[in-house]
Amino acid sequence: MNERHTFLVSIRYIVRLNVVLSMIVLCLMACGEDENMTTPQIALSHEVLDFSADGGVNDIQLTASDEWTVMSDREWCLVSPANGNGSTTCEIRVDSSYLYDTREAHLTFRCGKYSRQLVIRQLGYDRVIELDKELIEVPDFTDYDEMFEYIRVTSNIPYTVDVEYADASRTGWLKVTAEEHPSGSVPRTSTVRIDYELYAETDADRVATIVFKQKNAVEGDTLVESRLTFRQTKAQEIIPSRQGDSLAVLAIARLMRCAANIDTSTPLIHWTNIDTEEVEYVNHKGETVDELRVVGLRFSMFDTDKTIPYQIRKLDQLRTLSLSGNTDAAGKNIVLEDDITYLPHLESLSLLGYGICKLPARMKEMTQLQELELSGNNFTTLPIDIITELDKHSLLYVNFANNRAKDVFGKLNENASDKATLGLHGSLPEALFTLKNVVYIGLSYNYFEGSIPDMGYDASQYETEEEKVANNPIMPQLENLSINLNFLTGNIPDWILYHKNLKCWDPFTLVFNQYENGKDASGKRVGFDNTPSYIKRPCPLWSADEEEEEE
């Protein structure tokens, strides 16, 4: 009985123990389920990633216990892979920005009902104007095809370009040409070309600052600006001498853009555009020397809109100067400066088709000048005051032919209101026919109109032709007169009809022959009323030439 009782008690104890143990297990399982429900099933190695404005790629570590996906709220931010199962490495790719300000994207990673968010921050671009150079230095001259420099400008804002010259008296020698300014916040690189002129001064380098400045800056913005220093070295000093002559000739050729190709590797005497001669002169040290110097200079085919370069003064032994064929001379109005008037030995000055419209007053002091050739220029009035003053000294030859900026095709009357700008016009001045030394006058193919001055000579007071010729006091020294193809009218004066050298002038071609069927400003048909049909007097100059040949 006792044994049975003891057995039953044991059985009940074991059952109760199992129940207790079961309840403990159930409680533990219930606690485990509760703990699993509060523990994240997904984790990220970063909460925030920062990118520059240029964008780029970065990696993060993703820890997940199951399948996961990710979504981006901005198209400029992408994730690869965009879904998966379990832990992995994710690549975050960000495009370059198009904004000046910071922008954000949000990446949401989901695993079941759990999620984590990654914030992507991208900086905006600073407003910038960056130059690839801060300083450019160039020589005083180089080949015309190489007289420019390039710089590269990286910018993300529109900008203006200004040039600040260190010397206010030396400006305009730089020209800056920029490509179209880039738009948008992303910095882009463009090319800027800087053209510069030859520099002939010898006292100091010339300097300019090229300023690139933000355009249309908004109030509150810090103005963006970049500067480039442009320096051009001074030219070698020219001292009148054989070496100085070569430097002066080269400088003039370069400044005038002459087509002549001077081979500087050859001696001066072999340069084809100059004449040289042994000359005795006093140098800059006050010493009397005998040296080969340039006495003649010729250039044809050049392109300038300026006067003769001042280096011409350095050729102080020059006797002849000839410059012809300026590009588009008819469209230029160049005032000749007085540098040539400082050449004490100049005897012949020929500026053909240069585009000159005015002479310097100081030209009256060129007492050695014998020839003045100014055909094909753009004078509108004859500088008779200069001509009459030079005639008092050495002047023998004057030619102002073809000073027409525009052709009116014989219809001066239809262009009367514009004739002041058409070319050399007006009446022939009486002072022109009072010259005492000039033997050649050329005024062909201009716009002179009216009658030729009669100069007060009336040949009717004499009976015979010989007497009329012998007593003619007007310019007996005149060997050539060319006034053809103008718009002159009226009578040919007696001083021309009975000039001893009339036949020498080839008068039917160069005097009597005016613009065919032309009309002057008043509408009157041009031409003379008393043109002779024949000239029986021989040219005395031809006889003199024949006698000289026989001797």
- Give per-residue pLDDT as tens, 179-238: 776 667 788 899 999 999 888 788 899 999 999 999 877 777 788 999 999 999 998 889
Domain assignments of the chain as residue spans, ordered by start: 42-122, 129-232, 295-550
Strands (E), 147-273: 148-155, 159-165, 174-178, 188-196, 206-214, 225-232
Q: Which pLDDT value is given to residue 45?
A: 94
Q: Which pLDDT value is given to residue 182?
A: 60
Cα distances (Å, whole numbers) of residue 425 to 175, 384, 395, 404, 527: 38, 13, 23, 9, 16
Asked if domains 42-122 and 295-550 share a fold, the reply is no
Q: Which amino acid is at 99?
A: L
pLDDT mean across residues, the chain: 89
Contacts of 171 (CB under 8 A, 6+ apart): 165
Integer Cα distance of 289 and 2 in angstroms: 160
Q: Which pLDDT value is given to residue 30?
A: 43
Contacts of 153 (CB under 8 A, 6+ apart): 129, 130, 131, 132, 159, 178, 189, 190, 191, 192, 212, 226
Integer Cα distance of 360 and 298 in angstroms: 21
Q: How confident is the model at residue 502 (pLDDT cuts 50, 70, 90)?
A: very high
Q: Which pLDDT value is given to residue 235?
A: 87
Cα distances (Å, whole numbers) of residue 288 to 90, 330, 540: 92, 45, 46
pLDDT digits (tens, 9 = 90+) for 281-337: 999 899 999 999 999 999 999 999 999 999 999 999 999 999 999 999 999 999 999
Q: Which residues lie across from 425 on neighbouring strands?
A: 447
Integer Cα distance of 449 and 521 in angstroms: 8
Question: What integer is the mean pLDDT of 33-58?
Answer: 78
Q: Which pLDDT value is given to residue 12?
A: 53
**Pairing state between β 148-155 and 288-302:** unpaired
Architecture in CATH of 129-232: Sandwich (2.60)
Integer Cα distance of 313 and 249 in angstroms: 11
Q: How confident is the model at residue 21 (pLDDT cuts 50, 70, 90)?
A: very low
Find, among 452, 437, 441, the residue nearest to 400 by Cα. Answer: 441
Share above pLDDT 90 across residues of the chain, in percent, rounded to a whole number: 73
**Angle at Cα 141 formed by Cα 140 and Cα 147, nearest 5°?**
115
Q: Which pLDDT value is given to residue 217?
A: 78
pLDDT digits (tens, 9 = 90+) for 511-541: 999 999 999 999 999 999 999 999 999 999 9
Q: What CATH number has the domain spanning 42-122?
A: 2.60.40.10
At residue 279, the 3 state secondary structure works out as strand
pLDDT digits (tens, 9 = 90+) for 122-154: 988 888 899 999 999 999 888 777 889 999 999
Q: How confident is the model at residue 417 (pLDDT cuts 50, 70, 90)?
A: confident
Q: Which helix (H) or strand (E) holds 4?
A: helix 2-38
Is the pLDDT assigned to residue 38 strictly greater than 70? Answer: no
Buried b (16+ CB within 10 A) or exposed e, 26-39: eeeeeeeeeeeeee
3.40.50.2300, 3.90.580.10, 3.30.479.30, 3.80.10.10: CATH of 295-550:
3.80.10.10
